Structure 1
Amino acid sequence: MFYSHLMTALSTPRPWPRPPVAILHRDLDRPPEKARITVAGLVLVRQRPGTAHGVVFITLEDETGIANIVVWRSIYEKFRRAVVAGRALRVTGQIQRESGVAHVIAEQVEDISWMLDRLAQPNATPPARG
């Protein structure tokens, strides 16, 4: 019984728990330079190179691609817990493009890991889309 319930839960596709107003990563080429946007996704990589003077670089992934996040020291200090511990983040900031690569310069960082925990519940209703 448990096994069949588990297999059903694993094989049933669930919609990605997209937070309200988050742009898909595949669409990061659409907003104009310096537009204020929100992205959300799973944290793939956090980097804090010693040569970056306290800047943290985060790579987020959603179901459509990746987003590169730049977190300046002052923003890191303000949202430290989310930046360090979040498994999934929602980041709001300005989009910046250089050499064909888009970066989001973080202004606000929110830990949305609770959405992942909710997906693990067998009969959970996905969070509402905004």
Structure 2
Amino acid sequence: MTLTRHGLSIGIDRVGDDVFLALKAQGRLTHEDFKVISPMIDGALAGIEKRKVKVLFDVRDLEGWEIRAAWDDFNLSLKHGLQIDKIAVFGHKVWQDNIAKVANWFMAGDLKFFEHEADALRWLKG
């Protein structure tokens, strides 16, 4: 029997007025995954002023989204887009870089794709 793992892991840190979100996507994301994670993100970002959130998003193990999950992801981005200062996405596939470029069109903050986590962290801190 083979188990297929999928979902989003989240870590939230507040440092002074700044909020740091660490997200890790795994497998093929579903609508059910977003039903679980969206309230967590909503709660973490409640009351945050504009442009205070920095996101480190690990997509190395992401295989994609179901159509409904892609819509959920888009809506979540629209809902919190004005709170985001920077999103550093890191992975190793060309399509992940292309998705990051498209997502950047819908974000008020900066979004950049990296192949290495250390480079992503350095950019977030800079």
Question: TM over 0.5, yes or no?
Answer: no
Where relative contact order (Cα < 8 A, 6+ residues apart) is larger, the structure is: 1
TM-score, normalized by length of structure 2? 0.26
The TM-score normalised by the length of structure 1 is 0.25
- Give the helix-richer structure, 1 or 2: 2
Larger radius of gyration: 1
